[in-house]
Structure 1
């Protein structure tokens, strides 16, 4: 009995990174993201939507949805179970101009594919996501719904879905059990050095004003180049043979100050 309390007998359920929102994968399996990742790990998923209502958007949700303070949203409250064990809660906030009078605004059961399938039927498909992760201790209601042991913290994940036009159309606040779930995420590539190498080759090709000598530039120096933008995660490499504006490099390709 003590072993069952102190040591989890079931394997940790992994939240499988951004690819859990891959539209192609979900359409092929006709599953929700949670159901897809639980199934691939040999777990039996179940999602219970126990309330649908119209509420004022909390301030952090309103900011992520680009709404004004006090704007109304549709709130769908869910509980997620794996093998009959509650593992997370999810409050999904949907702008009223997105869901209208569709079943997302009225029905508890959305059928196969759940919320994201219903949103796709309305023309909203996830192109990218934005997520913020924090931790805290649960409220009493959260502890009861998740059947948490005393003293166990929860992971709070605020997730936003954004379409290809940059429009945020869905936000969910997940309350995740830290004792039974974990995060697994990855990148398909590590592009920074590759992009900087392309940038270095381009700068060597066009020899911008201020380029001093032939000393090879380090990737750290190039990271400070004016054409390097960490904010939009892209490098704008001039086409082969293109002229470079007089202030575009400002000598930083030669190690000068950017």
Structure 2
């Protein structure tokens, strides 16, 4: 039996998982294709079915396969990524008549839509107040929470905070924002155009709530992007957290080196 890097005997389940992974990478088991049944795999590897089950669990935790109740185990199919990019707010796309997310969906031949979870005037915590230069002693910010869908797939959970002084009395308080360019169209009409962005990006495993809302398969992490919009004076006027399924989203930045 092969040994691991510490000289210990490698469990049979890990050897099976590694062999299956190589078969997937080589195309023996194609994307979207069904793996042999646990019974057939047990016979193929001369192993107990619970050993094969452990091997499949390892591949599932790595996001390589997915199990469908009553149907079997399938190789996860790579889907075209939606790109969160540095130019998504550029005026050059205005002639398309779409908000940044809907435009990105259109590029992929997908239909985008939004599910509103909440719209609330609130008191910011200390970090949020500092980032947007607001008072933490008053309800000085509007929070909008949405799920963004591309066709039938939930791809982002989006939480946006906007100073109440900008949001008050505008379409930002409505579920369906009444502007073809979304919230940024309304903010531009208030004199705040995105001139610079600051995005802070981390990767992590999703919370149980995020798994539920985004229908995240086992083993798939999320990209956590904290985005700040800055106007011509360099002042922050919008803060948005994008929690993105990593199997369906990517980042694309093109910026000068300063």
Q: Same fold (TM over 0.5)?
A: yes
- For structure 1, the residue ranges without an aligned partner over 5 or more in a row are 191-232, 234-258
SS in 1 for 2:88: helix
**What's the RMSD between the two structures over aligned residues?**
2.0
| Contact 2:79–2:247 (Cα < 8 Å) also in 1 | no
2:248 corresponds to which residue?
180
- Please state if 1:126 is matched with 2:191: no
Superposition deviation, residue 164 in structure 1 = 0.3
In structure 2, the residue matched to 1:161 is: 229
Q: How many residues align?
A: 187
Partner SS state of residue 74, structure 1: strand
Q: For residue 8 of structure 1, what is the aligned residue in structure 2? A: 77
Secondary structure (helix, strand or coil) at the match of 1:145 reads helix
TM-score, normalised on structure 1? 0.66
Question: What residue number does 1:42 align with?
Answer: 109
4+ long deviations beyond 4 Å:
1-4
Please report how far the alpha carbon of residue 30 of structure 1 lies from its aligned counterpart in structure 2 after TM superposition.
2.0
Distance change >3 Å, CA 103–CA 80, structure 1 → 2: same
For residues 83 and 120 of structure 2, what CA distance do their matches in structure 1 show?
30
Q: Give a deviation string over 1:140-177, Cα, whole Å, max 9, x none.
A: 21110100112322111000111101121111011001
Is the CA contact (8 Å cut-off) linking 1:78 and 1:91 kept in structure 2?
yes
1-structure distance, mates of 2:126, 2:244: 21
For residues 34 and 136 of structure 2, the distance between their equivalents in structure 1, rounded to whole angstroms, comes to 49
Q: Distance in 2 between matches of 1:186 and 1:14?
A: 12
Q: How does 1:85-124 map to 2 (within 5 A)?
A: 85-104=153-172, 106-111=173-178, 112-124=180-192
SS of the residue aligned with 1:20?
coil
Match of 1:20 in 2: 88
Which ranges in structure 2 are unaligned for 5 or more consecutive residues?
1-32, 36-64, 67-74
Structure 2 matches for 1:1-258, cutoff 5 A?
A: 2=34, 5=66, 6-15=75-84, 17-25=85-93, 27-71=94-138, 72-104=140-172, 106-111=173-178, 112-187=180-255, 233=258
